[in-house]
Amino acid sequence: MMRFVLSSLALLSLTGCHILFPEDPREGSELSADCPTRVAGLLGPASQFANYTEEMGVPTFTFDITKMAFEDMQRLMVDGSDDTAGNRAMTSTNETSTAVDVFMRTPVDEKGAFFTGRDPALYRVRGGLQPKSTMIATGCARQQEGMRLIMIDVGAVPANQEAKTDNTETPPESESQ
- Between 33 and 16, the more confident residue is 33
On the question of pLDDT at 18 being above 80, the answer is no
pLDDT grade for 61, boundaries at 50, 70 and 90: very high
Return the axis-axis angle of helices 135-142 and 34-42, rounded to nearest 10°: 120
The chain-wide mean pLDDT, for the chain, equals 76
- Cβ neighbours around 62 below 10 Å, total: 24
- Between 59 and 33, the more confident residue is 59
Q: Give residue 83's pLDDT.
A: 64
Q: Give residue 34's pLDDT.
A: 87
Residues of the chain by 3-state class (helix, strand, coil), percent to 5: 40, 15, 40
Number of H helices, E strands in the chain: 9, 5
Q: How far is CA 39 from CA 1, 48, 94, 177, in A?
A: 52, 13, 30, 35
125 beta partners: 61
Check: CB of residue 43 under 8 Å from CB of residue 49.
Answer: yes
On the question of pLDDT at 70 being above 90, the answer is no
Q: Tell me if residue 32 falls in helix, strand or coil.
A: coil
Check: CB of residue 65 under 8 Å from CB of residue 123.
Answer: yes
Integer Cα distance of 86 and 71 in angstroms: 19
- Mean pLDDT is lowest, of 4-8, 112-116, 122-126, 143-147, for 4-8
Cα 26 to chain centroid, rounded: 11
Phi, psi of 129 (to 5 degrees): -60, 130
Question: What percent of the chain stands above pLDDT 90?
Answer: 25
Domain spans of the chain, in order of start: 25-155
Q: Which of 174, 171, 158, 164 is nearest to 57 (CA)?
A: 158
Q: 94-109 pLDDT, tens per residue?
A: 677 788 888 888 888 8
What pTM was estimated for this model as a whole?
Answer: 0.70
Q: How far is CA 147 from CA 13, 18, 94, 176, in A?
A: 31, 22, 25, 40
- Between 5 and 172, the more confident residue is 5
Q: Give residue 94's pLDDT.
A: 66
Q: How far is CA 96 from CA 6, 24, 89, 158, in A?
A: 42, 20, 9, 32
